[in-house]
Amino acid sequence: MLEEQIFSDYQEALKTKDVFKVETLRFLRSVLLNTAIEKRRRNLEDNEVIAIIRKQIKNINEAMEEYKRAGRQDLVERSVRERNTQFLFALSFI
């Protein structure tokens, strides 16, 4: 169900030309697909999808710390938007 919602939101973002949301959801969909392939399954359970989103948020937070240390405020701001998009998506299903 969550995978379907991600795909639906992705299509909606394409229609509304929300470039940032399209990029974020496209990346998330690719992570989900790769995980499903690793597990040799067609679809993932909702709890697995939520776990993957949490892991991605953790990775984004770690990257943000690196960007801050490197003085790359532009990448910090982009990471914040990406994290918030994924976080809000995850919250809507928890």
| Domain residue extents for the chain | 2-91
Fold of 2-91: Hypothetical Protein Yqey; Chain: A; domain1 (1.10.1510)
pLDDT tier for residue 93 given thresholds of 50, 70 and 90: low
Q: What is the mean pLDDT of residues 44-59?
A: 90
pLDDT of residue 94: 56
Gyration radius from the chain CA atoms: 14
Query: What percent of the chain clears pLDDT 90, i.e. is strictly above it?
Result: 46
Cα–Cα distance measured from residue 93 to residue 47, given in angstroms and rounded to the nearest whole number:
10
> SS3 sequence, 5-70?
HHHHHHHHHHHHCCHHHHHHHHHHHHHHHHHHHHCCCCCCCHHHHHHHHHHHHHHHHHHHHHHHHH
pLDDT of residue 36: 93
pLDDT digits (tens, 9 = 90+) for 15-39: 999 888 888 889 989 999 999 999 9
Residue 90 dihedral angles phi and psi, to the nearest 5°: -65, -40
**What is the spatial distance between Cα 83 and Cα 79, in angstroms, rounded to a whole number?**
6
Mean pLDDT of 44-63: 90
